[in-house]
Structure 1
């Protein structure tokens, strides 16, 4: 589905105008410009909603009909669950687990160098280090330590201005080696994080 179709779902469910919702859905899908298949869905996670979408749009906004709209609820029910056929919402760890072919030699030094040279505000560290906090995997920092996150996401948050520099790390460093998993494709199978829940549901049934 595209952002307009998701916005139509939000409009039907919550009232107001299409324009009330299109920007949020467009941002969730904006990673398509980084990866053209469904591996792009790194923002289709609770991490993406909490660490990227909400800091940009806030926890609530008022639509054109005067109703208060909860951003987290909108993202989950009108976009993430819809794209995965209402079966699950993957975790960032699911995507990081698919990043199996990323070279790890010298990665820690490259990330530390990037963090030191590009992030000049200590307050940004928590945001940039959040993938490591939720996954425990050093390679997850490639999701925030790259030219796209620094020059697109942080400025949208109002936390930093775009930097006119040559970037050593780009999104292609983690998207290109990322393995395509069937769970990424419209919920045809469940991701690792949802397997135990699926087994439990099968037993109950």
Structure 2
């Protein structure tokens, strides 16, 4: 489903105009530029909403009908759950578990150097390190320590300007080695984080 169709869902549920919502949905799906299959859905997570979408659009906004809309609720109900057929919302850890073919030799030093090269304040540092806090996996930092996050996401947050430089890490390092898992494909199967939910539903 494309961002415009998601925005039409939001308009039907919440009023206003499609244009009130399309930019949020477009950002959630913007990772299609990095990976053209459903492995791209790293922002279809609570981490993506909390650490990327809300810092850009705010916790709430007023639509053209004068109604206050909660950004988190909009993202979850009109986009994330819709794309996974209302069965679950995956965690960032689910995606990181699929990144098991990423070479780990020298990765810590490479990430440390990248961090030192592009970070100049504690707030940016906390945002960049948030995947590690959520997953406990060093390789998760590739999600923020790359040319796309630094030159697209951070400027949209108003936290930094785009840098004219050669980047040592690109988004290819995330997606090229990532396994495609069937749960990524429109909720056809449950991800690891929702296995217990699957077991409960089977028992019922």
- TM-score when scaled to structure 2? 0.99
Partner of 1:75: 75
| Corresponding residue SS for 2:69 | strand
Q: Could you tell me how far 1:123 is from its partner in structure 2?
A: 2.2
| Range 112-121 or range 40-49, more displaced | 112-121
- Trace 1:111-130 onto structure 2 (pairs within 5 A): 111-130=111-130
| Corresponding residue SS for 1:42 | helix
CA distance in 1 between counterparts of 2:47 and 2:123 reads 18
Partner of 1:105: 105
| Corresponding residue SS for 1:165 | coil
Partner of 2:50: 50
Q: Unaligned 5+ residue runs, structure 2? A: none
CA distance in 2 between counterparts of 1:28 and 1:165 reads 26
Q: Could you tell me how far 1:201 is from its partner in structure 2?
A: 2.1
Cα deviation, 1:66-125, whole Å, max 9, x if unaligned, reads 000000000000000000000000000000000010000000000000001111222211
Partner of 1:142: 142
RMSD: 0.5
Paired positions, count: 204
CA distance in 2 between counterparts of 1:153 and 1:65 reads 29
- TM-score when scaled to structure 1? 0.99
CA distance in 2 between counterparts of 1:57 and 1:118 reads 23
Partner of 1:166: 166
CA distance in 2 between counterparts of 1:123 and 1:82 reads 32
